[in-house]
Amino acid sequence: PLQVRGPGLGVVGVSKGAEVALAMAAFLPQVVATVWINGTAFLHGNPLVYKDLRIPPIPYYTERVIFTELGALDNSAIFADPRDPAYGASAIPAEKIRGKVLFVVGESDRSFNSKLFAELAMARMPLESCRLLSYPGAGHLIEPPGSPLCSISSIRGTPRPVVWGGEAQP
């Protein structure tokens, strides 16, 4: 079981929640442990506003949505390349994180290029403060062992189901 023995807090986030968890770790000193699962290391869609700080988002390009043969949405191409210097101000300042971060990545994620985002964040952090667990064949929704695979599901705000990717065994 995951435990944080005080003082301090641990946060766990998946997808957009991982983006939020990474930002919490960067700005809130009480966060000492973070588990980041298939997220981003840059703001997407909405800005982050904290005290006097405003981090602008990288835009979504909805015209890049791919429709699968089942009619589901594949969002893997809707994000701009975070390595483009034009989006440097959208990076979550991972170098400010004082605690430990575990990055968990499904290499067949069809929502984000999560491995790229993890690597970009880790490049700005001390090696001893972060670790990457990368699973070939796993998709966006990494569930506890023995859970059924959810490779496509409906989410609020989307007109059709969304493809998460992955295979059952990985």
Residue 98 has a CB neighbour count (10 Å cut-off) of: 13
The one catalytic residue in 15, 90, 111, 114 is 15
- Active-site residue, selected from the candidate residues 74, 109, 114, 151: 109
Residue 44 falls in the annotated catalytic set:
no
Distance separating alpha carbons of residues 80 and 47, to the nearest angstrom: 15
Q: Is 15 a catalytic residue?
A: yes
| N residues, the chain | 170
- 162: its two tokens: 């969304």
Selecting among 74, 90, 108, 140, the annotated active-site residue is 140
Is 154 part of the annotated catalytic residue set? Answer: no
Query: Distance (Å, rounded) from C-alpha 53 to C-alpha 101?
Result: 23
Query: 31-37 and 9-14 as β-strands: parallel, antiparallel, unpaired?
Result: parallel
3-state class of 54 per DSSP? strand
Q: Hey, which residues are catalytic here?
A: 15, 109, 140
